[in-house]
Every structure is written in C-alpha cells, then in structure tokens.
Amino acid sequence: MLRRASDGTVVLELEHADISRLLATGWRRPEPFAARARDGATDVYGLIWWPSTFDSTTPYPVVEQIYTGPHGFFVPKSFGAYRNTAQTIAELGFVVVQVDGLGTNHRGTAFRLRSWKNLGDGGLEDHIAALRQLAQTRPYLDLTRVGIYGHSAGGYDAAHAMLTHPSSTRWPSRPRGITIIAWTRPSGTRSGWGGRGRPLPCPVERDTRVQPPGQAAAGPRGRGRERPVSATLQLVNALIEANKDFDLLILPNQTHNLGRHAYLQRRRWDFFVEHLLGIEPPAGYRITAFDAPAAEPVTRR
C-alpha cells in the first residue's frame, strides 16, 4: 500500500498477494505466539508450524527447531517462514516450535545480557517454559514426546539441551534430538562467534563449554569446516566412554551450509519418525524435490 505520510490514508494499492492456491493444499499459516520467560514476567516470542492435515483431536509430538545466540534473533518474521525446514518436518505428523529466549538480540541490553559470559545458558529454560505454557491451551501438544534439532550454534544448543536436560522437572520428557555441525568445543574453532558482543580477549572455553555427557540422551550428527570434526569426535569419544547410544553421520566433501542436502534432510525425517512417532520410516526413500547441494560460500563469523 502507498499511504500518505501526513495522515496514513491509502493513496494506492501497489500489490495484493494471492495465496489461495497454497491454502487449497490444506496448508496452515505458521502461528506467532508470546509466552512468559523463566522469570514469569518477560515476554518471549516464537512461531508454531502445523501439518496441513492437522486435527486438534490428535496428540502430536513436539519438535523444536533451535538456534540461539547474542548476535541476532532467529524466529522468522516474514512470510518466507512457509519455506522453513520446520514445515517439512511438521508435514510428517509433528508440531514444530521455535522460540527466541533470553540472551538473543534486538530486545534491549537487559534481555541480551543473559548471554554475557554465559552462552551455555542458551535460553533453554525459557524454551521449556514456553512449551509448557503452549500445552496448557493446546492439549494436542504431546510433551511426553519432545524432539529438538539445530545446525551449527543450533547444533550446540541441541546437544546442550540433551546433555544438561535429559529428563527433569523442567523438561516434560527426555528430548530426542539431532545436532548438525555442532559447535561442541569453542576453543577448537575461531572465537569470533563466541566473543561477539563481549570484550576481547574473552574466556570462550570457560564460558561456553559443553557440559559433561554423563547423562546424554542422543549424539551428534554432522561434520564441519567451520566446526572442526575433531571437536565432534571428542564428544563422540565422551559418549562412548559414558556407554551411551548415539548415531553419527559423516557427510564428505561438504561445506558448513547443508540446507539443501537432500540425504541429510531425509535422515533427519527418519530420526524423528522412528523415535517420536514410533514408525519404521520407508527404507531408501529419496527426496527428489531438492536439486544437488548448492555450492554456497561458507559464512564467516
């Protein structure tokens, strides 16, 4: 719309979006929501993705797509959210949630300071609080079946959630999850992301270390160029020493950006279908909608 700056009246409609064909498929708009953070006073915001076959009388496992960090906010704010990976997972029979908890950016200094020398916090307590509040008004959210996944720093977040919150009064159930190119050992990679928003030099290793894996629920999947595979293998070794079951998937000859990697997408689908729905996924299913992985430049932080 073109409006007059003086009084806001409409001068001309420049363009009108038509999503009728998309709606005709049964697609539901992702739903923005607000919840209270762990302090019971601060609002945090998120988004919910639904399957197009959604039925409010059916209980759905909940999968969280996670990425935290003091350098930005990560819950989509545009219509492009319909293309998000979360929608593809929702279509398999899940409700997918993403939350920006305390410690993320663009909400003021006090909000962001939760991450100050404390990246390991990850806002997880705010995410758990939000899930519990959502379930109070949406009884179809089955919090006895919770999954989590993330990439890069989100991979760290997913691993951290499983390592430090395997089952407690906070999580309604033990989270099952996938970490992709996880930032598992900050001192083993460049410190730019870990030090962002903080004076340098900063004690990255002390402030952001992954907790001991004694209670790990599941292991990482992935490898990295920005995130050295040696760090992943150190976590793998700790999981082995702790006698924990996990899966490890190595994707050769890939960069840090794996958003268009069809095989990885399929294996992620298979994991949640098997562990949260209790269904054997179809063997050898091939995703054909994706082109070959794009040769994207690695983002330098």
Q: Can you point out the beta strands (E) in the chain? A: 2-3, 10-12, 31-36, 43-49, 60-65, 95-100, 141-151, 176-180
DSSP string, 221-241: ----TTTTHHHHHHHHHHHHH
**Identity of the residue numbered 90:** A
CA distance to 156, 217, 232, 286, 289, per residue, from 180 (Å): 8, 16, 10, 20, 21
Report the distance separating Cα 235 and Cα 75, nearest Å. 28
pLDDT in tens, 38-80: 999 999 999 999 999 999 999 999 999 998 878 888 899 888 8
The CA distance from 118 to 220, in Å, is: 22
Beta-bridge partner residues of 2: 12
pLDDT at site 290: 54
Per-residue pLDDT at 235 exceeds 70: yes
Q: Which of 148, 149, 141, 177 is nearest to 60 (CA)?
A: 141
Q: HSE (CB half, 13 Å, CA atoms) of 221? A: 20
| pLDDT reported for residue 62 | 94
| Residue 118 and residue 36 in contact, taking contact as beta carbons nearer than 8 Å | no
Query: What is the C-alpha separation between 62 and 144, in angstroms, rounded?
Result: 9
User: Residue 202 corresponds to which tokens in the numbers above?
Assistant: 């900063």
pLDDT of residue 229: 75
Is 300 a residue whose pLDDT tops 70?
A: no
Q: Please tell me the predicted confidence (pLDDT) of residue 298.
A: 38
pLDDT of residue 289: 64
Q: Specify the amino acid at residue 273.
A: V
Q: What's the CA dihedral at 151, 141, 125, 217 to 10 degrees?
A: -60
Per-residue pLDDT tens for 127-149?
999 999 999 999 999 998 999 99
pTM: 0.78
Q: Is the domain defined by 30-276 classed in CATH 3.40.50.1820?
A: yes
Give the pLDDT of residue 194: 52
The pLDDT of residue 236: 85
The H or E element containing residue 89 is: helix 85-90
Q: What is the pLDDT of residues 202-229, one digit of tens each?
A: 333 333 333 433 333 333 333 333 466 7
